[in-house]
Amino acid sequence: MNALNGFFNTLFDWVLLPLEKVGPQTALIVVSGVFGVLALAIFKFISFQKGIASVKDRIKGHMIEIRLFQDDLAVVGSAVAKVLFRNVQYLALNFGPFIPLAIPFLFVTAQLVTRYAYEPAHVVAADAKLLPGQGTMLEVRLAEGREAEIAGLQVVLPAGVKALSPLVRSPYEGRAFQEVVATASGVHQLEFVLADGTRETKSFVAGDASLRAMQPRRVSSSQWWNLASPDDCAALWPAEPTFDSGSPFRSIALRYPDRDLGWLPAGEGGVLIAFVVASMLFGIAALKPLGVTI
């Protein structure tokens, strides 16, 4: 997974760098639109285009039949049943090809989210008096079967990061929580150590530090796809290496502020909305030039 994420990181660095000189909004919209057109072109070659066109024609024919014979209940009833059946057929012919397209969709959205959805954590003065909830909450989760080991967890904070709360551990759930705050700008490496000596780190970006991509969660490579817990899907978090599949750590997470994207909605939701809308609009515009039937 790390090799695949590394490939996409390099590819998107190369593609997005010139576009970002105009602005992140332009980069986001253009890449989303190009993906929409490419996905449509791929759809054309992996779908049964003649079958889709035939089913659409049959639906139109049955609709005309309903219009012409509206006084004949038997004919109308039969035509309605045929329309419903053909609609199911139409949906199946369109939905099937979209399943393989979900894989590139996943990697593209992961790249866009980690690059445009978040901004670094805010920096506060080292002697600032803060209330609970004003910092950044860390959450550590261990792998299934290793939950009890959370009792021996220690969190080592580097210079420039301080704790606002004690480390709270839950051996039953295999989770631990601690609130921290950045007192200096930079890319800080938080270290997490278990009693057996196992160590893992998580990047914590704060202040005016600049990274091409940043993410709030680091996960295990064993969770490359997890419908039960989508947040732990390794394919969604390419900005940092995943934990080895044998690591007792399942995830280490924190919360970054949403990035302001100007006239676009902010944060993860804004990036996803912009991606879906732009890819659909570009795709619709390319339907006739590409000769695609959907």
Sorted by where each begins, the domain ranges of the chain are 2-117+265-290, 136-253
The span from the CA of 219 to the CA of 287, in Å, is: 39
Q: How many CB atoms lie within 10 A of CB 88?
A: 10
* pLDDT for the residue numbered 96: 83
Tens digit of each residue's pLDDT (9 = 90 or more) over 57-83? 899 998 888 888 887 788 888 888 988
Confirm or reject CATH 2.30.30 for domain 136-253, answering yes or no: no
Matching residue, tokens 């969770």? 223
* Residues 138 and 191: beta-carbon distance below 8 Å: no
Low-confidence ranges of the chain (pLDDT < 50): none
Tens digit of each residue's pLDDT (9 = 90 or more) over 3-44? 888 888 888 989 898 888 888 999 999 999 999 999 999 999
* pLDDT for the residue numbered 226: 63
The span from the CA of 203 to the CA of 288, in Å, is: 46
Q: Indicate the helix (H) or strand (E) that contains 31.
A: helix 24-46
According to DSSP, residue 123 is labeled B
Q: Phi/psi at 16 (nearest 5 deg)? A: -85, -25
293 contact partners, CB below 8 Å, separation of at least 6: 49, 52, 53, 56
* pLDDT for the residue numbered 98: 81
Residue closest to 103 by CA, chosen among 9, 229, 233: 233
Residue closest to 253 by CA, chosen among 137, 143, 148, 115: 137
* pLDDT for the residue numbered 227: 56
Pairing state of beta strands 199-206 and 217-219? unpaired
* pLDDT for the residue numbered 134: 87
Q: Is residue 152 classed as helix, strand or coil in its secondary structure?
A: helix
Q: Is residue 56 classed as helix, strand or coil in its secondary structure?
A: helix
The span from the CA of 77 to the CA of 100, in Å, is: 37
* Tokens encoding 62: 């049955």
Q: Is residue 14 classed as helix, strand or coil in its secondary structure?
A: helix
